[in-house]
Amino acid sequence: MNSILKNPLVQRTMFWLATTLVLVFFMFPLYWLVISSFKVRGDVTLTPPTLFPFVQFQPTLDNYIDILTTTRGGTTVASPFIGALVNSILISGTATLVAVLLGTLAAYAFSRFRIPSEGNLMFFILSTRMLPPIVVIIPIFLMFSNLGLRNSFVGLTLLYVTAGLPFVVWMMKGFFDEIPREYEDAAMMDGYSRIEAVWKIVIPEAIPAMLSTAVFVLITAWNEFIFALRLNPDKFSTVPPYLVTVIGYGRPEWARMAATSVIFLLPIVIFTVLVRNHLLRGVTFGAVRR
Amino acid sequence: MSSISVRKVTKQFGSNVALNEVSLDIDDREFVVLLGPTGAGKTTLLRCVAGLERLDNGDIFIEQQNVKSQAPAERDLAFVFQNYALYPRKTVYQNIAFPLEARAATKPEIEAEVKKVAEVLHIGHLLDRRPAQLSGGEQQRVALGRAMVRRPHAFLMDEPLTNLDFKLRTQMRSELKRIQRELNETFFYVTNDQVEAMSMADRIAVLNRGVIQQVGLPQDVYEHPVNLFVASFIGSPRMNLIQCSLDTNSMDLVDSSGAWRVPVPAQYREKLSAAVNTDSLLLGVRAEDVLISAENSGISGDVYVVEPLGDRIIYDIRVGTSMVKVKTPPTYRVQTGSQLNIVFNMDRVHIFDARTQQALI
Amino acid sequence: MAQVTIRNMVKRFANGAIAVDNLNLSIPDGEFLVLLGPSGCGKTTTLRSVAGLERQTTGDILIGDRVVNDLPPGMRDIAFVFQFYALYPHMSVYENVAFPLRAAQVKKDEVDRRVKRVAQQLRIEHVLRRRPNRLSSGDQQRVALGRAMVRQPQVFLMDEPLTNLDAGLRADMRAELKHLQADLGITMIYVTHDQTEAMSMGQRVAVMNLGVLQQVGAPLDVYERPSTLFVAGFIGNPPMNFVDVRLDTGGMLYGSGFSLLLPIELVEKVRKEQTQPELVFGVRAEDVRLSNDSKLDTLQAFVAAVEPLGDETIYTLQIGEVFFRASTTPSVRFALGTHIDLSFNMDRIHLFDAKTQKRVI
């Protein structure tokens, strides 16, 4: 028994077997979603379910065409979903960019300078994340109404920046604490100002951390539902509230929902894949002693 | 190539006084080592001179010019950091070229300067590598190269040899000294290693708890420490310190256990009779000034521990309630537990007031 | 207490790197053995294998007469001391010492009996009620040792326990630990990269490099008759001087810009070993003599660096392209940049085979 387990071939086989099992377990819902988006409506709810395209069912693009277009007065035009998607990309993207840039600068200051009652300030920043966002929805709604920020691009973006900032400040401060301050000191001794030192030496070092922080901020903003629903119901509506409208009345439109979800998923997946190399380095920073 | 003058510099971090009215003059082309234990304020003083820390009080002059309000870049000093602070994303070449780019030198100029420095430091073959691909000793040379390349007023060095292994450290000690002589520049060097300080310095400044204890030539500081701190910080093994009191009638020093007494040498009697706390003195004797004596003379004790070091053997001898370290040549060998007698070379002993911690002789 | 035997031990890491290569080592009951070597030489891996924290790839480890290969660390009857000051600050000394027994659910009166006995052995009875931070460093060390002793282990394993202490304290702790070990008669395997620590503490020193045991022996034997070039260079401060030389038929050693006539009896010894003529000449700094009168056997040398250390002065001397370090008493003074005469203590020179790196004489 013991000797069988020590055989390298057996060990390797068991390793891959276990890996595959775990992978199937975690990836199955996603797979389900993707194949459902290519099924005709009736196929989705079949029991037993059909799992293999071309073999068990004939994939179709109808759902995608359906949700991306709409017919108005006999001509085919882009559906409101496309508008919502563009809004989502613009609002979440801008919010992420602004939050990461502002937060990085704040984090640098917290890490490098003696700031009076620094501990309290850092806690205060974190404390904004301690209550469920829903409890402030009424004051925010009223504030935004008075300031004319409802149904605007700026309003929701501003809100997502505010929500993302504490996370960025905490993550990036931890990262900057890990970068020896001697890097900037050395650059300043070498004849550069502090701003130049930060720009030329520190920021290049910080990019992996900034990118991985950005992924988290982006996902949070991208998924946000309740504020989007309440503050931007019409013109600047984002995808999450729109998703609800796809469900349909009476009989749920599972296939169309699946197609919408897949498209909703894509931008995040693309961004994450693009920065994946940095992501690993960024997420594990601080875990290893250098 | 400049003189540096530190005048009554005080620096506080919160309620913690890192530097307390520190004054120190470094002559043009001098190699001054600032020596002290961890937390003494050495690095803070160095950073104040560099302009990386703001002074709470006092002034710093470089070539007679007050630089108190100048930014680090304006002071034209080079700083070598303990962890070298090489830019990880730049190649060795780019690291060394970086200070020159700040002053908008042309490309061919930069290249010529970098090559020249690389040659002096024997790192020409490393120019395309990145810092992570270098050994500790090579990183150290690159850090030095980055400091040298713009021919600064003076070099400030913060424990640059600490991260090297013992053998390399010994080598770099004389190497750095050679470089200083060849460059003919002012070096202000911080370390907690007394061997480094002794071997490299033209003058040593000993710092403890933000206060300068003593400034002087290495051998003078070793032979005439002004207080207990300097006496026990410099020298290896540490100076033996034995509690005793002065018998003012016979002018003998009496061990605190009363087990033995030694006469105070004639040349010190006058000074000692003026001492106030004659009942709590510390007799300081370096291990090389304790001698093994004949059987029925001197102070008897037993061997507690034998520490063979190869070129010498250190014996820890228990005499009365005190422990005395004796340095002998490796040819003298006795076992743990043996009885033997020791005498002190009284011309080279030190006597400290245990209360004020100051040297009396 | 028990002896430890390591038999044909090999440790290969998953990536194929060999950390320990066929190690055979036997540590008799009651011995203080120091495993010495640079980082990555396999000394810590060896220690961890004895402890059971790692599993050797092949070979056996015996504690007493028992093969412990398959026993987990907790069942090997060993104490592993990582660092001396790692006492629990919120517990009294008594509680600190009793802690391992409480974990093993020993009965209360038995705990009391054993703690008191260990306290008596270590002379810490008077501090049992105190908190660790109120103790002298020597007492803290005793408490840490007491915590290890109370389980009555067969063997003590220590992995650089003194590394993080400052130099003065480290020297004190060294002597104290050595005395305690001899006093209590415990078997101890102690790992360090510090050759001073190894020399001064070990009854025997085992030097390792690149996973291979180089030499085992009493400290002064290893110092005086290093069996390989590596051992010769690793032990001793300052490191031994080496020159690549070629031995001609007339008994002359030639290096670059340097030549030396070997005494006839040494030449015969070398001949007997029948080595190839490429050798490495080694001489320790204390065996280099400096003078101002040239004789037949002196070489003219240029004083390239002077490092006064207080109790001795180290000179770096240049002959041709070869550098020698010489240590002298501080009363000997030669000026930098002058020429002096140099000779060697020919009874104490070393010759190594340049290819095999093994000692010839």
* pLDDT tens digits for range B226-279: 999 999 999 988 999 999 999 888 889 998 888 888 998 888 888 888 877 888
The answer to whether the Cβ–Cβ distance between C200 and B167 falls below 8 Å is no
Q: Do B193 and C166 touch (CB under 8 A)?
A: no
What tokens does B14 get?
């919160």
Name the residue with higher pLDDT: B313 or A288: B313
Distance from CA of B122 to the nearest CA of A (A): 22
Give the closest-approach CA distance of B313 to chain C in angstroms: 8
- As to burial, measured by CB atoms within 10 angstroms (0-12 exposed, 13-18 middle, 19+ buried), residue A48 is exposed
Which residue positions in chain C have pLDDT lower than 70?
83-86, 164
- C-alpha span between A223 and B214 (Å, rounded): 66
- CB contact under 8 Å between B218 and C310, yes or no, is yes
Q: Which band of pLDDT confidence, cut at 50, 70 and 90, is reported for residue A129? A: confident
- Residue B30 near residue B186 (C-beta atoms within 8 A): yes
> How far is it, in rounded angstroms, from Cα B94 to Cα C350?
45
Per CB-CB distance under 8 Å, the chain B contacts of C239 are 167, 170
Task: Annotate C61-121 with DSSP letters as a single string.
Answer: EEETTEE-TTS-GGGS-EEEE--TT---TTS-HHHHHHHHHHHTT--HHHHHHHHHHHHHH
Residue A290 pLDDT > 50:
no
Give residues with Cβ within 8 angstroms of A126, minimum separation 6: A166, A170
**CA–CA gap between residue B173 and residue B141 (Å, rounded):** 12
Residue C267: which of C173, C128, C361, C143 has the closest Cα?
Answer: C361
**Among candidates A183, A185, A196 on the partner chain, residue whose Cβ is nearest the Cβ of B79:** A185
Among left, alpha and beta (phi > 0; psi -120 to 50; other), residue B202 is: alpha
The pLDDT tens digits for C300-328 are: 999 988 998 988 999 999 998 889 999 99
Lay out the sheet containing C66-67: strands in order across: C18-27, C4-12, C58-63, C66-67
Q: What pLDDT does A167 receive?
A: 93
Integer Rg of chain A from CA: 24
Q: How many CA atoms lie within 13 A of A84 on its CB side?
A: 28
- ipTM rounded to 2 decimals: 0.83
Q: Which positions in chain A touch B51 (Cβ < 8 Å)? A: 188
Q: Among residues C352, C43, C6, C25, which one has the least CA distance to residue C217? A: C25
Most distant CA pair in chain B, distance: 80
Question: How far apart are the CA of B69 and the nearest CA of chain A, in angstroms?
Answer: 15
Per-residue pLDDT at A237 exceeds 80:
yes
B311 and C236 within 8 Å at the Cβ level: the answer is yes
For residue A281, what pLDDT is reported? Answer: 65
**Angstrom distance (rounded) from CA A98 to CA A157:** 9
B–A touching, 3+ CB–CB pairs within 8 Å: yes
Measured in residues, chain C has a length of: 361
Rounded to whole angstroms, how far apart are CA atoms A282 and A168? 13
CB B84 within 8 A of CB A186: no
Q: For position C170, what pLDDT does the model report?
A: 82
- Phi, psi for C202 (deg, rounded to 5): -75, 140
pLDDT band (50, 70, 90) for residue B1: low
Residue partners of A225: CB distance under 8 A and separation at least 6? A240, A241
Mean pLDDT of chain C: 89
Q: How confident is the model at residue A283 (pLDDT cuts 50, 70, 90)?
A: low
Residue B86's contacts (CB-CB under 8 Å, 6 or more residues apart) are B95, B131, B139, B142, B143, B146
Question: B323 to chain C: which residues are within 8 Å by CB?
Answer: 175
pLDDT digit string (tens) for A260-276? 999 999 999 999 888 88
- H or E element in which residue B203 lies: strand B203-208
- Strands, sheet with C322-328, edge to edge from the N-terminal-most edge strand: C288-291, C339-344, C299-308, C313-319, C322-328
Show the tokens assigned to B34. Answer: 């600032």
Query: Among B332, B233, B333, which Cα is nearest to B286's?
Result: B233
Report helix, strand and coil shares of chain B as percent, to nearest 5: 30, 35, 35
B317-320 long-range contacts, CB within 8 A, separation 24+: B317/B290, B317/B342, B319/B255, B319/B259, B319/B260, B320/B255, B320/B256, B320/B257, B320/B258, B320/B259, B320/B260
Please give, rounded to a whole number of angstroms, the shortest distance from the CA of B192 to a CA of chain C: 9
C-alpha A190: how far from chain center = 40
Strand partners, C317: C303, C324
User: Using CA atoms, how far apart are residues B333 and C220, in angstroms rounded to an integer?
Assistant: 11
Counting as contact any 3 or more CB pairs under 8 A, the partners of A are: B
Considering only residues B327 and A48, tell me which one the structure prediction assigns the higher pLDDT: B327
For the cut 60, the answer to whether the pLDDT of residue B107 exceeds it is yes
- 3-state SS string over chain A? CHHHHHCHHHHHHHHHHHHHHHHHHHHHHHHHHHHHCCCCHHHHCCCCCCCCECCCECCCCHHHHHHHEEEECCEEEECHHHHHHHHHHHHHHHHHHHHHHHHHHHHHHHHHCCCCCHHHHHHHHHHCCCCCHHHHHHHHHHHHHHHCCCCCHHHHHHHHHHHHHHHHHHHHHHHHHHCCCHHHHHHHHCCCCHHHHHHHHHHHHHHHHHHHHHHHHHHHHHHCCHHHHHHCCCCCCCHHHHHHHHCCCCCCCHHHHHHHHHHHHHHHHHHHHHCHHHHHHHHCCCCCCC
Q: What is the 3-state secondary structure (H, E, C) of B220-250?
A: HHHHCCCEHHHHHHCCCCCCEEEEEEEECCC
d(CA B141, CA B171): 13
What is the number of other CB atoms lying within 10 angstroms of the CB of residue C243? 22
Q: Which chain B residues are within 8 Å of C196, Cβ to Cβ?
A: 309
Q: Which residues pair with B316 in a beta bridge?
A: B305, B325
Q: Does C285 touch chain B (CB under 8 A)?
A: yes
Query: Residue B180 contacts by C-beta under 8 Å, 6 or more apart in sequence?
Result: B31, B155, B187
CA C164, distance to chain mean position in Å, is 17
User: Is the Cβ–Cβ distance between B32 and B205 less than 8 Å?
Assistant: yes
Q: What is the pLDDT of residue A78?
A: 83
Instruction: Please give the pLDDT value at position A285.
Output: 47
Tokens of A46: 């079949």
What percent of chain A clears pLDDT 70, i.e. is strictly above it? 95
Structure-token match 């040593």, residue found: B204
Element at C148 (helix H, strand E): helix C137-149
Handedness of CA B235, B236, B237, B238 (dihedral sign): positive
**CB contact C273 to B (< 8 Å):** no
Range list of H helices, chain B? 42-50, 72-75, 92-102, 107-120, 136-148, 166-183, 194-200, 218-223, 228-233, 266-273
Q: How far is B25 from chain A (nearest CA, A)?
A: 22
Taking contacts as CB-CB distances below 8 angstroms, the residues of chain B near A196 are 102
User: How many CA within 13 A on the CB side of residue B306?
Assistant: 22
B-contacting residues in A 226-245 (Cβ below 8 Å)? none
* pLDDT of A110 strictly over 90: yes
How do residues A196-223 score in pLDDT, each as one tens digit?
Answer: 999 988 998 888 899 989 999 999 999 9
Q: Does the beta carbon of A115 lie under 8 angstroms from any beta carbon of chain B?
A: no
- Chain C residue numbers with beta carbons less than 8 Å from the beta carbon of B304 are 175, 179
The CA–CA distances, whole Å, from A229 to A216, A224, A234, A252, A262 equal: 21, 9, 9, 21, 20
Nearest CA-CA distance, residue A175 and chain B, Å: 16
pLDDT of residue A288: 33
Separation of alpha carbons B121 and B144, rounded Å: 8
End-to-end CA distance of chain A: 42
Instruction: Indicate the DSSP class of residue C303.
Output: E
Q: Do A190 and B73 touch (CB under 8 A)?
A: yes
Question: Identity (one letter) of the amino acid at C347?
Answer: D
Contact A186 B88 (CB under 8 A): no
Taking contacts as CB-CB distances below 8 angstroms, the residues of chain B near A178 are none
Q: How much is the pTM?
A: 0.83
* pLDDT tier, A24 (very low <50, low <70, confident <90, very high otherwise): very high
Of C200, C305, C310, the CB nearest to B174: C305
CA dist B188 to A274, B6, B230, C12, C309, Å? 49, 12, 20, 47, 19
Nearest by CB: B79 against A189, A196, A204: A189
Residues of B in contact with A205 (CB under 8 A): 88-89
Give the number of A-B residue pairs with CB atoms closer than 8 Å: 55
Contact B199, B33 (CB under 8 A): no
The C-alpha atoms of residue C186 and residue C156 are separated, in whole angstroms, by 7
Q: What is the pLDDT of residue C39?
A: 85
Candidate from C166, C193, C199 with C-beta closest to B38: C166
Q: In the prediction, which pLDDT does B142 show?
A: 93
Residue A269 has a CB neighbour count (10 Å cut-off) of 11
Among chain C residues, CA nearest to B313: C200
A-chain residue closest to B132, CA distance = A290
* DSSP assignment letter at B140: H
The reply to whether A281 touches chain B by the CB within 8 Å rule is no
Kindly report the nearest CA distance between residue B218 and chain A, in angstroms. 30
Q: Which conformational region is residue C159 in: left (phi greater than 0), alpha (psi within -120 to 50 degrees), or beta?
A: beta
